[in-house]
Structure 1
């Protein structure tokens, strides 16, 4: 059955729920290594630096595969791309469950990272085919809460599974969950058609020249100041994400002295706090847009100010004499504020760039951003090993570095991120491209 060509809230939100479930699985796959870090490091004889290297390797091919699939998503239905990804994730859990070799574990994480890299931009691209521009903030934020749910479930379930059956069983459970999602997607997943309607409307207006009706050289898009600013915000947010999923469980256990089960619960609390904050801020942004605010105010400035506030909390955690519980609460609030840009960034890119190139640009953003998650865990691991004798301070040094990077990115966005201005600039650049294309056709 073909998808409706007008906005249908019920169908659109059904797809959003399925994509939220996929995001949940995606982040369970990401966090599982960090959640089993202590027994896994002991079992395989890994130092903190080597573990950080292996954890970061998950993102090595993340960028390459994200870009390749992003270009593919411009031409192939996202329904089938997402199904292929979900099936591959499920299969790739099995060798991780059985491996006894550090090299084999490293290879598994690299390959799994390549398979999971395109998930977020492809899901966003699929979601945008169901929601019009002014209604995109909230569904993307909800989909991102699949990550929150996945990390919460990891904090509650993985320590319990590890304690009862051993760390390897977690990977078998993830394989089964991934297979179940594939069955549901085959049954209920469909391709949205709003893009087709939009293209048709634009093409019927012979004199209308819009950046959404033409293609531009990628060099022109990727050197736009606003696009670069969104990429930078994503990079530091993913740096934080890599730090959180790799080192926060170990910091809670070894740095702050919580038991493994208590650490899992605190971790779940930290992650759970992000859900209401991100959804609330996304709803606020959408409400500001409805009331006539510019996207500069409702998206760019709101994102930048919240990131600066979160970064200052990270720096406070690293420098002030706080109790363990106070440090956990600081991390929870700071992490929620600083990751808000992951919900708003794709909407800003979709507003600015040509429709025909949206999938590849959103994918390129994720590819660049994921480099932060590849570098961050390794840097934190080196700091932890270098300052191991200082206990919690070793981890907090890395947290302070992250806070500084977040402030730099947010200040750059305040200076250069102007979505409306970039839209006008890219429209002007698209005009001669469109005219030349029509002349060629004649």
Structure 2
């Protein structure tokens, strides 16, 4: 969770320094959106390497390697801050962060059985909220007091410190041993063709839900402080502090929903309901809250609506991750999650520049931001319906397990 918090802190840093960078470097909203898009393009490509990295290196060393690369990408902006340096370093950062989500989840799942992975998934997903609640206000104060360079420098130092702690404290859990045992029994190795997993209804349904939600997450990471400041009239310090409001709602929603769904799974309730219908309903409610934003004209009411809707929608992330892990043989969890996270990250390539373009061409900043959130709300509702129709991890797990045993 600590590493994923650093991961999300690296992402949200661009949103926190967006206005200072625009002032100091003369950047436009479209250029900031382009930088964010470039990051998520690299993030998408990097995600496809999660399975290969998991095969080539141990989880311990692979995560140390990516964390050190993250830290290294922060330094050039401290030394030579420019638009070109920002683009290049964010691309490298994105490529290194791409496979990390799947590797982190694989490390986590090595300690938990399939039916009890909802809450652990929420703990990892909570890093998104933790970064906004705990890290964003601190970074905001540092940026206001010492300049935007301070944000990059602090995250570099924290990344190196994490590597030291991880080296001494982490070891794989008991459920990782399945992979080792099966590798020793060549004839019974539980692997299946990747197409059977990636084209399963559950995987496609999970992607349908995760894609629009991830697009909304990237817009929040990139643009929410600017929306609060430029669109709603709050001060820079207020905007940075309120950045955590949606995350507080997300924390509550994720832990409550996954605690309940894990309990239901252990009591035999259908996985279609627990890991298909529940996240679909959450995403639909999130989408509806975004659709009504242009109708709200009270700034604090807008903040509350975004916070509550976003929080409910965030239950999609841990539950769909758990659903995908449920249908995979143990030695293919990292690869499948890597593909899921990479494909959902395509939304991160599209969403921020679309928002920037809408804001630049809108009559007012407030109207532009509200319109962009409304668009993502409509897409979220469509994704929610598809997820509820397609996802059935219990059924797909049986089919894939039968195929693995036949091999």
Give the TM-score, by structure 2 length. 0.95
Residue 431 to residue 143, structure 1, CA distance change in 2 (3 Å): closer
In the TM superposition, residue 431 of structure 1 has moved relative to its aligned partner by: 5.0
Residues in 2 aligned to 1:74 and 1:403: alpha-carbon distance in whole angstroms = 38
Greater C-alpha radius of gyration: 1
Residue 139 to residue 89, structure 1, CA distance change in 2 (3 Å): same
In the TM superposition, residue 257 of structure 1 has moved relative to its aligned partner by: 0.4
Within a 5 Å distance, the mapping from 1:39-438 to structure 2 comes to 39-197=20-178, 200=181, 213-318=189-294, 320-387=295-362, 389-430=363-404, 432=406, 434=407
In the TM superposition, residue 197 of structure 1 has moved relative to its aligned partner by: 4.1
Residue 166 to residue 422, structure 1, CA distance change in 2 (3 Å): same
Residues in 2 aligned to 1:65 and 1:169: alpha-carbon distance in whole angstroms = 27
In the TM superposition, residue 28 of structure 1 has moved relative to its aligned partner by: 0.8
Residues in 2 aligned to 1:431 and 1:149: alpha-carbon distance in whole angstroms = 41
SS in 1 for 2:48: helix
Check whether the contact 2:249–2:312 (CA below 8 A) recurs between aligned residues: no
Q: Which residue of the partner structure matches residue 2 of structure 2?
A: 21
Residues in 2 aligned to 1:69 and 1:197: alpha-carbon distance in whole angstroms = 19
SS in 1 for 2:345: helix
In the TM superposition, residue 202 of structure 1 has moved relative to its aligned partner by: 11
In the TM superposition, residue 98 of structure 1 has moved relative to its aligned partner by: 2.5
Residues in 1 aligned to 2:183 and 2:63: alpha-carbon distance in whole angstroms = 28
Check whether the contact 1:348–1:419 (CA below 8 A) recurs between aligned residues: yes
In the TM superposition, residue 429 of structure 1 has moved relative to its aligned partner by: 3.8
Deviations 1:168-222 (A, max 9, x none): 1111111111111111011111122323247748999x9xx8xxx5322222322
- Paired residues in the alignment total 406
Root-mean-square deviation over aligned CA pairs = 1.9
Residue 162 to residue 201, structure 1, CA distance change in 2 (3 Å): closer
Which 4+ residue blocks in structure 1 deviate beyond 3 angstroms?
197-204, 427-432
Residues in 2 aligned to 1:125 and 1:137: alpha-carbon distance in whole angstroms = 13
Deviations 1:253-305 (A, max 9, x none): 00000000111111122222211111111111111112221111111111101
Residues in 2 aligned to 1:256 and 1:347: alpha-carbon distance in whole angstroms = 37
SS in 1 for 2:233: coil
Check whether the contact 1:35–1:154 (CA below 8 A) recurs between aligned residues: no
Give the TM-score, by structure 1 length. 0.88
Check whether the contact 2:290–2:377 (CA below 8 A) recurs between aligned residues: yes
Residues in 1 aligned to 2:118 and 2:223: alpha-carbon distance in whole angstroms = 30
